[in-house]
Amino acid sequence: MAPHRNAILPHVGFFWYNVGVKGKTLSRLSFKSFCIEFYARHIGSTGADVYRMFSESGLLKTLDDDYEDLHGLGWEALMPMFDEYLGRNPK
């Protein structure tokens, strides 16, 4: 876990909440980008590596297929879900 993780990620939850409150809808592409970038931070990897991991595991397709159910979740719920889906042990 990167030492700066806790300093950055809580602000995203607030942002994610405000996007929903204002009634704006993030596009599927924006949602997938959000997931990739924040999972990369979560595991200390690069966006390119996480994109490849999501694509090869089928998670990228799942994010698209289940967009309506998942896009309202914040990083606090998504990161553990991705860990479980990918069979990774949280740090």
pLDDT tens readout for residues 18-68: 455 444 455 888 899 999 999 999 999 999 999 999 999 999 999 989 998
Distance from C-alpha of 42 to C-alpha of 5, rounded to nearest angstrom: 7
Q: Is residue 82 part of a domain?
A: yes
**Residue 32 falls inside a structural domain:** yes
Task: Give the end-to-end CA distance of the chain in Å, rounded to a whole number.
Answer: 6
Q: In total, how many domains does the chain have? A: 1
What's the rounded Cα separation, in Å, for the pair 76 and 72?
11
CA 87 distance to own-chain centroid: 16
Residue 7 within a domain: no
pLDDT of residue 28: 85
- In a domain, residue 17? The reply is no
Q: Max CA-CA distance within the chain?
A: 35
Other C-beta atoms lying within 10 Å of the C-beta of residue 20:
14
- Give the domain extent around 53: 23-86
Chain-wide mean pLDDT for the chain?
A: 79
Per the confidence metrics, is the pTM higher than 0.85? no
